[in-house]
Homo-oligomer: A and B are copies of this chain.
C-alpha cells in the first residue's frame, strides 16, 4: 500500500468528510487506486455523500471493500445499516482495530481515512496502529474551531506525526488569521476553499459534487499529492 492520509480536524462540522470524500474522488479521477475508510463511527457521513446503498463488502480471507464511484470504500455503516450505534470508547477501539486488521485493501496508491473530530480513541488508535500515517487537518476560519484544531496540531507535532498541512474550509470573507496561525506553528497552509452554497445540493450525487467550486479547491490539493 502507498500513502495513508488521515483527514482530520479538532472540531466537527468543518467539512472534513466532504474534503476526505472529494479528495478521494479527485485522486481516482487522476487514475490512482484509492481507498476511503470512514472511521467517524459516531457520525459517519461519507456514505451519504457518496450515496452508497446496498453495497456490501465480500468476505474472503478478510473483508474486500466494495467499489463505489471508482474507489474502494469501507465504513461501519456496511454493518450498522444506519441504525443508531452508541459505542463506548473501548468498543470504538476494538472496531477500529478490527476494521484495520481484516480489511484487504489490495494494491492502493492512497488510502484516505475520514477521522472523527477531536483527539479521542480513533485518533489515538490509528496513530498507534498505522505507523506511516500522514495528516491533513481541516479547519474553518472560526476562532472557536481553530482553538480545537490547534489542540490536535499540537498533539501531532508533539508525537512527531507528519502533517501535510492545514486546509481552511467554508471561507466567507478572506482573512489571513488562519494562515498566520498555521505558519506560526511551523506548518504548511494548504489554502482556502470558499463557502460553496451549492454544495449541499450535491450531497448524494458524486458527479454533481465533482463539478462544484468546492471540488475545484480540493482538486488543487489532490494535484499536490498525486
B203 with A43: CB separation less than 8 A: no
B204 with A151: CB separation less than 8 A: no
Complex contacts, A90 vs chain B, CB 8 Å? 89-90
B120 with A92: CB separation less than 8 A: yes
Interface set, chain A 136-188, CB cutoff 8 A to B = 140-145, 147-148, 151-152, 154-155, 158, 172
Complex contacts, A141 vs chain B, CB 8 Å? 200
A121 interface residue per 8 A CB criterion: yes
Name A43's contact: one of B42, B151, B158 (CB within 8 Å). B151
Query: CB-defined interface of A115-136 with B at 8 Å, one 1/0 digit per residue?
Result: 0111111011000000000000
Q: List the number of copies, as a whole number.
A: 2
B83 with A17: CB separation less than 8 A: no
A interface majority secondary structure:
loop
Given contacts A84-B119, A143-B204, contact A45 B148 (CB under 8 A): yes
Going nearest first, the 8 A-B pairs with the smallest beta carbon separation are A89-B89, A13-B13, A12-B12, A42-B118, A43-B148, A84-B155, A84-B151, A86-B119
The interface of chain A, by Cβ under 8 A from chain B, is 10-14, 17-18, 42-45, 48-49, 82-90, 92-93, 116-121, 123-124, 140-145, 147-148, 151-152, 154-155, 158, 172, 197, 200, 203-204
- A selection of 6 A-B contacts at a CB cut-off of 8 Å is A10-B42, A13-B117, A42-B118, A84-B154, A86-B119, A90-B90
